[in-house]
């Protein structure tokens, strides 16, 4: 069975003055895929996913999601369409509990669907999301008092509570211990059973363990696409990025 395209871009570019942060990127992501985006610092990775999620507007080019042009749609509409984005720096509500953080996301997801069970449905969604990331016993903990690693996992739980079709994770293993990284890899594989995952990650062992395919960005442009094995053996990728790892 042919892969179904979930998201695609054509000629996607973003310029900041004379800086070409993203330049003429053609990109296709299939449903159910775990795709990694890698590249050196300044390659345009975070700018690119910010364009996908609607946090910034492109200078030119287009973005399609579920075969619909979403280029001009703002971020909140893309969230409602099924795109969730966890940030490179945690963006939890520090004064709220972990459960309250997830409840806000769950409320947003339920409001766009047909489920109007109110608090019961939200509570159930919170329990599911926190349990999936291993934070079920920290539902009442103040988010700002959680360790950095647990805050990253809380943000993933918030993303899951949105019931996304596409979950974008920006540097999710940053600040995690080795054991937490192992658990995170198991979590991503579990998430991929019901959603597509786009992973921006510098930890190459994690990328090689998880990714079905890898896209390499360099100076805002696509340098290479391929399987982890093909990317690892690509001389241009080795010269631009992997040789520095």
Write down how long the chain is: 245
- 35-57 confidence digits (pLDDT tens): 999 999 999 999 999 999 999 99
User: What's the pTM value of the predicted model, to 2 decimals?
Assistant: 0.89
The reply to whether 118 and 223 lie within a common domain is no
Find out whether 156 and 164 touch, Cβ atoms under 8 Å: no
Confidence (pLDDT) at 244: 58
Do 72 and 169 sit in the same domain of this protein? yes
Q: Do residues 12 and 42 share a domain?
A: yes
Whether 111 and 232 share a structural domain: no
Domain boundary among 103, 124, 150: 150
pLDDT bin (cut points 50, 70, 90) of residue 32 is very high
**Structural domain contains residue 124:** yes
Number of independent structural domains in the chain:
2
Judgement on whether residues 73 and 168 belong to the same structural domain of the protein = yes
> 135 with 169, same domain?
no
- Residue 87 within a domain: no
Q: Which domain holds residue 207?
A: 5-82+164-244
At 14, which CATH number? 3.40.50.300
């Amino acid at each position: 069975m042919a892969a179904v395209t979930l998201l695609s871009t054509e000629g996607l570019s973003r310029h900041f003055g004379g800086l070409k942060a993203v330049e003429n990127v053609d990109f296709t992501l299939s449903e159910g895929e775990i795709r990694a985006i890698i590249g050196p610092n300044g390659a345009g990775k975070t700018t690119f996913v910010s364009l996908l999620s609607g946090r910034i507007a492109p200078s030119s080019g287009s973005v399609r999601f579920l075969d619909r042009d979403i280029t001009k749609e703002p971020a909140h509409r893309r969230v409602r369409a099924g795109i969730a984005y966890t940030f490179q720096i945690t963006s939890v509500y520090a004064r709220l509990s972990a459960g309250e953080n997830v409840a806000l996301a769950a409320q947003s997801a339920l409001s766009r669907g047909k489920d109007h069970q109110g608090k019961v449905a939200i509570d159930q969604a919170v329990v599911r999301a926190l349990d999936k990331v291993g934070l079920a016993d920290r539902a009442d903990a103040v988010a700002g008092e959680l360790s950095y690693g647990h805050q990253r996992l809380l943000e993933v739980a918030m993303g899951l509570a949105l019931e996304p079709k596409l979950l974008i994770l920006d540097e999710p293993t940053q600040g995690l211990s080795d054991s937490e990284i192992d658990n995170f890899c198991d979590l991503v594989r579990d998430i991929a059973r019901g959603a597509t995952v786009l992973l921006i990650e510098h930890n190459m062992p994690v990328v090689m363990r998880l990714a079905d395919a890898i896209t390499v960005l360099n100076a805002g442009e696509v340098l290479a696409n391929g399987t982890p094995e093909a990317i690892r053996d690509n001389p241009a990728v080795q010269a631009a990025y992997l040789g520095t790892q």
